[in-house]
Structures are given as structure tokens and as C-alpha cells.
Amino acid sequence: MPRYAYVNGQYLPHGRAAIHIEDRGYQFADGIYEVVPVAAGRPVDESQHLDRLERSLSELRIAMPMSRRALELVCHELLRRNGIRDGLIYIQVTRGVAPRNHAFPADASPALVMTTKRMNFTGQAKFTDGVSVITVPDQRWARRDIKTINLLPNCLAKQTATEAGAYEALQVDDEGNVTEGTSSNAWIVTGNGKLITRHLSDDILHGVTRRTILAIAAEEGVDFEERPFTVAEALAANEAFVTSATSFVTPVVRIDGKPVGDGVPGPLAQRLLAWYRDYMAGLRVGA
């Protein structure tokens, strides 16, 4: 089956899809993106992802490239054309094409690209065995709540993790508190069983998976608190895990080479993953 990308109004064969060399996303990282998981052919938490896309655009004063309804239709059509059951949709919107100049162009139209990726959600070792993470200083800008395509600090930190044989890097602020992963939100479970994740602010991306996991935790009567935590607290915790559109709930079993809890995926992380999988499959309402 040929794979299509959607580029500014056209469905093009993925290998031949291209954008202009003066696209401001290419020159200035002047744009935003979303990654929407797809399960059983259905985008998961689509409306929350599109809400965040609209918010990121409005924070950068970029117009919506098309109506919300039209965006949904393109998402669904691309999934249909590419025959995606499990995987993800990548959506990117930039300020558009204009002669290079830092200030906004007067008349550029936003550029929209969408691609899909097929993924096999079952049998991934990260879910069953857990992963190692390292910690790095958070070197990003002050508006991490905007999902911009300017990901260089995240890429550098992820590369450091990869070279250390780790799955993710937890970024740490000047006070010694974990902000989040390079492409995930960070969580711990304390000795008395309380689920902790950093509160929402400009310091972190407002993860859609984070939101859904908190809603599931509330439904299931899991005690939780949204507050910062230090690396030392994470190392002393019973469990740790990260969440994202592609990590779902991924247990963290080592931080900087030291075991978390018993050094194996924790029971609450495993329960949350199972509940989240049910949610993705449409087997749980609410959340």
C-alpha cells in the first residue's frame, strides 16, 4: 500500500512530499506540532490534541491552517489512505513560506503537513521490562508549554541518553527538580503509594497522556499530587515512569544507573498502562 503525506492541500506519495526551502519552520523552527496516537484505527484523545494545537498556534500568533473540522477530516482521510490501525499521526503547522526575515511576514499563509506512522504496540520490551533514564540540566526556553518544533535541547539531551544506553533523559531545573523528559512527562510513586507528577505551568508541556492518566487515576481512586520532585526523591521512590503519545506508560527502572524501587516495573505503573491500553482501545469510557 503506498504511503501518503498531506502537504498544503494535497495527498502526496510520502517519498516525494516536500516543502519550500524558505518555509519558516525550516529556517526558524517557527511552527508547532502534535503527535496523536492511533489505536484500532481511531485517533486517541483527538480533541485534546487539537485543542493543544490551537493553543500552541495562538500563543505564537499563527492562524489555524484550516477549520478544526477540516483538520479532523484530513487526519481521518490520511489514516484511511495509509491503512493505519495502530500508530500515530504527526501534524505540523508553520508560519509559512516567506523571504528570510526574523519578523513575521505580512502575508504568509500557515503551512500544514501531516504524516502517519504504523506501529506495533504489543510486545514492546519497554512496557514489560521498563527502561533506564539519565538526568540532564534543562536547557530549554521558558515557554515549554508551547509544543514548538524548536526541539534542539530535547534532541541533544535524547542523544546523550542514547549514547548512555538510556531510553530517555529527565531534564532538571535550577532548583534540582525534574521538569519532564525530552519527549515525555515524568512521574514517581512515593513510598506511601502516592502518584506524583509536576504541576502544569510554562515549565512543562501539558501532556495529553498525562491528563488522561490523571483522569484514570482519579476514577480508580489512586491518590495523586501535582507538584515538583527532585532526582533524589525519584531515586528513593517505589516506582517511576514516563508518559507520552508514543510511550503510553513506560516504567522507569533505573535513573543514572541506580535502581528505582526493586529495579523492575512497579505495580501501579503496570496497572496504569493496562487501564490506558483499555482506554486507547475504547474499552473505558470517561477519562
Catalytic residues: 147
Beta bridge partners of 43: 38
Residue 35 binds to ligand PDD (criterion: CB under 6 A): yes
Only segment of 1-9, 201-209, 222-230, 266-274 that touches ligand PDD (CB under 6 A): 201-209
The residue type at 80: R
Residue 243 binds to ligand PDD (criterion: CB under 6 A): yes
Give 185's contacts (C-beta < 8 A, 6+ positions apart): 197, 198, 204, 205, 207, 209, 210, 242, 243, 244
Residue 244 binds to ligand PDD (criterion: CB under 6 A): yes
Query: Per-residue contact track with ligand PDD, 121 to 160, x per CB under 6 A?
Result: ----------------------------------------
C-alpha cell recorded at residue 269: 505503573
Helices H / strands E in the chain, number of each: 8, 15
Return the residue matching grid coordinates 504511503: 3
DSSP state of 271: H
Residue 103: which H helix or E strand, with range? none
Out of 84, 93, 205, 237, the residue judged to bind ligand PDD by CB under 6 A: 205
Only segment of 9-17, 22-30, 125-133, 239-247 that touches ligand PDD (CB under 6 A): 239-247
Q: Distance between CA 251 and CA 266 in Å, rounded? A: 7
Return the residue matching grid coordinates 488522561: 212
Only segment of 6-14, 16-24, 99-107, 180-188 that touches ligand PDD (CB under 6 A): 180-188
Q: Distance between CA 70 and CA 92 in Å, rounded? A: 15
C-alpha cell recorded at residue 208: 495529553
Out of 30, 180, 203, 239, the residue judged to bind ligand PDD by CB under 6 A: 180
273 phi and psi angles, rounded to 5 deg: -65, -45
Nearer to ligand PDD, 115 or 185 (CB): 185
Nearer to ligand PDD, 6 or 187 (CB): 187
Angle (CA) 275 217 247, round 5°? 55
Nearest residue to 176 via CA among 147, 222, 138, 124: 138
Nearer to ligand PDD, 26 or 104 (CB): 26
Q: How far is the CB of 118 from ligand PDD (least distance, A)?
A: 16
Nearer to ligand PDD, 57 or 245 (CB): 245
Residue 82 binds to ligand PDD (criterion: CB under 6 A): no
Residue 210 binds to ligand PDD (criterion: CB under 6 A): yes
Nearer to ligand PDD, 150 or 230 (CB): 150
DSSP state of 166: -
Q: How far is the CB of 19 from ligand PDD (least distance, A)?
A: 19
Only segment of 4-12, 93-101, 158-166, 208-216 that touches ligand PDD (CB under 6 A): 208-216
Interacting residues toward ligand PDD by CB under 6 A: 35, 180, 183-185, 205, 207-210, 243-246
